[in-house]
Structures are given as structure tokens and as C-alpha cells.
A and B are shown apart, each in its own frame.
Chain A
Amino acid sequence: MDFLQLIVSGLANGCVYGLIALGFVLIYKATEAVNFAQGDFMMLGAFVCIGFTNHEYLGLNFWLAVPLSILVMGVFGYLFNWGILRHMFGQSQTSIVILTIAMGFIIRFFAGSIWSHEPTSLETPYAGQDIRAGGVVLGVDEVMIVVVTAVLTLLFYLFFSRSRTGLAMQAASQNQLAAYYMGIPVKRIHSLVWGLSGMVAAVAGILFASKGAIDPSTGLLGIKAFAAAAIGGFGSLPGALLGGLIIGLVEPLASRYGPPGISQIAPYAILLLVLIFRPGGIFSQTQRKKV
């Protein structure tokens, strides 16, 4: 029973990592840039929702605040690409990486000065409730995380395989030049992808803050999610989720059954093993062009 609870809380953590990793991969696939501020996007999304919901701030209804925060973060992501990153087009990868790292610092600073550096948690209507089933006690917050992630995954699948914009995003990520030739407005698609990953980050942040306290430095969690994305094979959406789940599951199991301290290094140890034995990641999607 103890084991089952570990698994569920691991899954819940893993879903959050997976969602942040999903944001990394979305942007990387579409624009070949790595957004090192993805973890900070997640943190910002959480604080935006806290700002809308918690009674010491606006005190809006939770179910209104959630879509509102997702929307705000979507617009934030879109504008970040449209206003700043797009003008870096053609610059080296390094300068884009440094720009996003700097952006992370700025977001952390702003979140700290608006919402303080104290750990805060999101006031959800289901906080502290449990589901009891045959001796197992599951927090509603943790079950919620798993369910929401599953639903989001399904929505993403439908969006990318059915909708015109989703297919155009796929096309632009597989062959940018050809996408231009087909009349796909690639630059706008890039901004939309940034908006989308801002929205995913908001969902991850809301789920994270509903489970426990969040403070502005939580954004550094992004590094672990980066490892998750690399384990899954940078560039594969299911891979990102799987990588997140693996890391999320390994952490509590390692700290419960392993020697002390192992849980902190376990994610990176797995990353190293994957990089050694399957350098492309679990779901590597590399292919050669035919001549």
C-alpha cells in the first residue's frame, strides 16, 4: 500500500516534469531553440493563477482563474517570441540560449517582487481532500494532476494530428523551408508554438502549486525537466512525457529504498545512461535525407 502511494505521488510529480519537458520539446521542435526559461514560465503561470485565485490577491473563483491564467501565459509566450525572440532570427544558438536564461532571471525577479519570495500555495477547492479506496489514501490533488495530464495529452494528440494549424506546426518543424514554400506563415506559427508552450507551462504550474508550495526559485525545476526531455529524446512529444514520468517515479522510489542522497542524483544518472546507450533518447526521431 505504501508502495502504491509512492507510485501515485511519483506519477503526479512526473506529470509536472513531463509537462515542462513538453514545453521544451514543443519549442525545440518548431524553432530549434531551447527555452531555458521554461521552468520559470511554469513558475510564472502558477503565480499568475495564485494572483487571480488566492484571497489575499484578487480572490476570483478557481474555475475562472484557471482558464484565465492559461490564457495570460499563452499570450505571454506568443508576445515573448513576437516581440523579442523573432528579432534574434539568424543569430547563433548560444545567444538565444543566453537570452532565454536571462529571461528566466527576469521572470524570477518580477515574480519575487510581485508575489514575494515566500513559498505560497494555490488555494484550490479540492485542497486537502482524499480519495480512500481499500486502505489506499490518494490526495485529490495528485489524482487531478494525473487526470489533467492525460486529458491534455489526448488534446495535444488530436490537435497535432487533426487540426490545420497543428499539422502546419508539424510541417514547419519537419522542414521549415518547405513549409515556407507551401505558403505556411512560418513566423506566425513559431509565435503560436511559443504561446502553446506558455499555456502548457501554466497548466504545469497550476498543478504544481495545487499540490504544494511554490516560490520564485521553483523555476529551476526546469533543469530536471530538461533532463526528462533529453531522456525521452529531445524532439518527441510522447518522449518528453515518458521522460518526465520516469524521473518522477524514480525520485520517490530511490529516496525510499535507496541509500540517502541517491534520489537527488538518480535523474541525472538515468540521463547519463540514456545518453551513453541510446544517445538520441528513448524516442529518437532522426532520419537521413534521401539523395
Chain B
Amino acid sequence: MSTDTATPKVVLQIDNLESYYGPIMAIRGVSLKVYEGQIVTVLGANGAGKTTLLKTISGVMDPEKGTVKMNGEEIQSLEPDAIVRRGIVHVPEGREIFPLMTVAENIAMGAYTRKDRSTIQADEEMVYSYFPILKDRRSQRAGTLSGGQQQMLAIGRGLMSHPKLMLLDEPSLGLSPLLTQEIFEIIVRLNQEQKVTMMLVEQNAKVALDAADYGYVMELGRIVMNDKAEVLAASKDIQEFYLGVSQDENQRGQRRWKQRKTWR
């Protein structure tokens, strides 16, 4: 995305972050920056530490070392509700909704940290305009929605806190390719129309790189590669290991059976 200002503002800056799951070091010194208005994606396989990274940012997990700065202020030791109040919302993996509450109540819960009723109502309308299906189902229990609708609800509910930065954890998880496409189109629209900066964690590298401006690749708790999304999409390693594009066959018509990543 092209921004008008010459030097866009850094919304989120992470330096040398280390987080543990009990004795296991899940994040081993991650540093990254998210600029205002961008969609940044973090790619990586299962267990690379992507979800842990998001949980550490949103305050559900406390880091052992390192800093998380939101607009220059350190937030790594704050409680999760204080971080939501500062404008970071986490849309968790696997659409963690409130199953026994109605769709409308779920959406209202997203605005828990806000008080001003009139703007909350306007935002409710905004959420329904992006996800019309939720408006039809507003008085239905959220647990009875389909998977894709629950994902929409989770994103819509996240929007209700009026976030400056939205952390999206695997929005494509368990969705059909068509639904994934639809969800990502909405994510891009939200980024452009509502000016929500997005940090997107994905295993589905293809859709994530199509939507994103900038990308980081995580492996075993470290960032191993980072660049503009187009550059990453064109890189051989990413194509081979994340996009599943097969490399050229050699002269004997066989694929190389062992490939070495450039960062190892």
C-alpha cells in the first residue's frame, strides 16, 4: 500500500521479545515493526511461535525479556484489558466466540471497553454493513452459526473496540477456499476504509501475501526472513516451502530430494 506521508508512523515495535510456555522457549528474540495503515503478515508452520507472539502482544502471556511498544509506549507488562483500551485487539484463532450469547450480544461485548453509546451504535451498523449475514442472525445464539459466520463474528466483534491495530490469528483456519477469499477481501477493505492496521498470522501463505504489504517468516520462534510481500512471494524459498510451487526438475528429470533453505 502506498502511503502519502513520506515516513509512516510505527504503530507497533517489538524488540528482542522472548516468551516461554512453561520451560519451553516459544519465542526466541523476535523484533519487528508494524507501520500505520499497513497489513503485516507473519508466516510460519505449526509451532513456529506465531500465536504465542500475538498472545504476548495482547497481554494474555507475559514475555520473559524484550519490549512491546505501542506508539512508543511500553505495554508488555500491562493486563490484557489495559491493552485493549490502548487500541490493540486480538481476534483469536479458532473463532473464540461466546457460544450461548446471541450474535448481537457478542458484538456488544466487543465494545466492553467503550462508554459512548451513540458511536457504539454507529459502529454496530458499520460491522453489520461489512457482514450483512450477521445482521440477519443477530438474535441467534452464536454457537449455532457456521464456521465462516463465527469467523466473521469474531472479526466484527474485534472491530467494536475501535482498534488502531488488529491482531488476526489464522482467519482462514478451517474455512473453504471461497470463504477464505471472502474473509480476506473484507480484511483488506477494513484496512483501507476503516484505517485499521492489521497484523495477520497465517499458514496459508498465498492469501496472506496477496493481502499484505509486508511479511515476516517465523521458524522455531525466530524471524528468519522479512521483506515486502511481493518480494517474499517471489523468493525461491518461500515459493518452495510455503507456496508449494515445485522447483525446476534437474537434467535427469528428478526433483532435488533435499532442499536447503537459504537461512540455515
A-side residues, CB < 8 A to B, are 164, 167-168, 170-171, 174-175, 177-187, 285, 287, 289-291
Stretch at the interface among B89-97, B196-204, B227-235: B89-97
Q: Out of B89, B91, B109, B145, which one reaches A184, CB within 8 Å?
A: B109
Smallest beta-carbon distance B162→chain A, Å: 11
Q: How far is the CA of A175 from the CA of B95 in the complex (A)?
A: 11
A-B contact count (CB 8 A): 83
B residues 141-155 with Cβ under 8 Å of A?
143, 145-147, 150
Q: Which residues of B contact A182 (CB under 8 A)?
A: 84, 109-110, 112-113, 157, 161
B146 to A170, Cβ gap below 8 A?
no
Nearest B residue (CB) for A183: B84
Stretch at the interface among B65-73, B99-107, B126-134, B215-223: B99-107
B161 to A183, Cβ gap below 8 A?
yes
A174 to B85, Cβ gap below 8 A?
no
Main secondary structure of the interface of A (DSSP, over half): helix
Q: Which residues of A contact B110 (CB under 8 A)?
A: 182
Q: Which residues of A contact B143 (CB under 8 A)?
A: 287, 290
Q: Out of B81, B96, B99, which one reaches A177, CB within 8 Å?
A: B96
A181 to B89, Cβ gap below 8 A?
yes
Q: How far is the CA of A181 from the CA of B85 in the complex (A)?
A: 11
Q: Which residues of A contact B113 (CB under 8 A)?
A: 182-183
Smallest beta-carbon distance B78→chain A, Å: 11
A175 to B99, Cβ gap below 8 A?
yes
Q: Which residues of A contact B150 (CB under 8 A)?
A: 290
Q: Which residues of B contact A285 (CB under 8 A)?
A: 100
Smallest beta-carbon distance B93→chain A, Å: 10
Contacts A168-B112, A181-B80, A287-B143 given; does A174 touch B100 at CB 8 Å? yes
Q: How far is the CA of A170 from the CA of B146 in the complex (A)?
A: 22
Q: How far is the CA of A291 from the CA of B79 in the complex (A)?
A: 29
B97 to A180, Cβ gap below 8 A?
no
Q: Which residues of B contact A183 (CB under 8 A)?
A: 80-81, 83-85, 89, 112-113, 161
Decide if B20 is an interface residue (CB 8 Å cutoff).
no
Smallest beta-carbon distance B122→chain A, Å: 19
Most buried by B among A164, A181, A182, A187: A181
Q: Which residues of B contact A287 (CB under 8 A)?
A: 99-100, 143
Nearest A residue (CB) for B150: A290
Nearest A residue (CB) for B160: A182
Decide if B207 is an interface residue (CB 8 Å cutoff).
no
A174 to B98, Cβ gap below 8 A?
yes
| 6 A-B pairs in the complex with CB atoms less than 8 angstroms apart | A168-B112, A177-B92, A180-B80, A181-B80, A183-B81, A287-B99
Q: How far is the CA of A290 from the CA of B146 in the complex (A)?
A: 8
B98 to A181, Cβ gap below 8 A?
no
Nearest B residue (CB) for A170: B101
Decide if B58 is an interface residue (CB 8 Å cutoff).
yes
